[in-house]
Amino acid sequence: MKLYSRPLSPYSARVRVALYHKGIDVEYVVPEMGWSKDPGFLAVSALGRIPVLVLDDGTTLVESGPIVEYLDDARPEPAMRPADPAARARLRAFTQIVEHDVMATMMTVFGQVYAKQDHAAAMARLTEGLRHTERMLEETPGVTIADAMLVPTRFNLDSLQRFAGMPGLLDPFPKIEAYRKKIDATPALARVWRELEEGLVAFMAWLAKQPAPQ
Ligand SMILES: N[C@@H](CCC(=O)N[C@@H](CS)C(=O)NCC(=O)O)C(=O)O
């Protein structure tokens, strides 16, 4: 199998959590900057987005959530979802809330802060998403599909605090703040966190060379 992925891409990081946790070896392809408009990459995935998982028979899978679930179906051990249908639905609901209400909203905030636009409405939505996440976050043993989503989300929350002048953003959310301890204590999660850090350093160096936004 082949995974198109970049170290700092949160959605790619989500898939790498599953691969590392399950000990699945794949070939990693790191597309060049500007990949999303590259005709070679568009031939692999018309969406122009990473991650993309290409199976050994050439089947192409896109969208990080379904890719993680594919890996959990194809290689069930160690399982990343409970067998009980209701518990499984609850876990998927939590994962989706983190994805849509926190991660996606945070990406909007990042874009607006960078473009020096008003981000008050997106920040209000993000705070609401964090409230739901804090309420629903449970200490779970092992690594679940929610952890795959939470690691890059928690990383980006640190970046938002650091780079967008929002220190203390997580102060009202002690469970989200403390989730970092699980990351440090869990090899697959810690590995992805390190890759995100390395990717951020490389991205900041690239960004410094770009023209400032008008
Ligand atoms: N919903 C998609 C989001 C993927 C996504 O937005 N990937 C970003 C990198 S983190 C990307 O490829 N962006 C390029 C673009 O949109 O032009 C998923 O979960 O895989």
Q: Is 64 in the pocket of ligand 1 (CB under 6 A)?
A: yes
Average pLDDT across each block of 10 residues of the chain; the chain has 214 residues. List them in order.
Answer: 98 98 98 93 96 98 98 98 97 98 97 94 97 94 96 97 92 97 98 98 91 73
Q: Look at residue 169 and give its three-state secondary structure.
A: coil
Res 165: pLDDT: 87
State in Å: Cα 84 to ligand 1 middle: 31
Nearest-CA residue for atom 14 of ligand 1? 49
Ramachandran area for residue 75 (φ above 0: left; ψ -120 to 50: alpha; else beta):
beta
Measured CA to CA, the distance from residue 54 to residue 58 in angstroms comes to 6
Q: Whose CA is nearest to atom 16 of ligand 1?
A: 49
Domain chopping of the chain, boundaries: 2-74, 85-208
Asked if residue 96 has its Cβ within 6 Å of ligand 1, the reply is no
Nearest 5°: the CA angle 134, 137, 142 is 150
Span 37-46, pLDDT tens digits = 999 999 999 9
pLDDT of residue 140: 84
Residue 18 · residue 72 · CB < 8 Å: yes
Architecture of domain 85-208: Up-down Bundle (1.20)
The domain made up of 2-74 is a member of CATH 3.60.20.10: no
Residues contacting residue 143 through CB under 8 Å, at least 6 positions apart: 17, 21, 78, 80, 186, 188, 189
First to last CA, the chain: 42
Verify whether ligand 1 is closer than 6 Å to residue 5 (CB atom): no
Of all atoms in ligand 1, which is nearest to the CA of residue 8? 10
Helices marked H in 60-170: 64-74, 85-97, 105-114, 120-136, 145-163
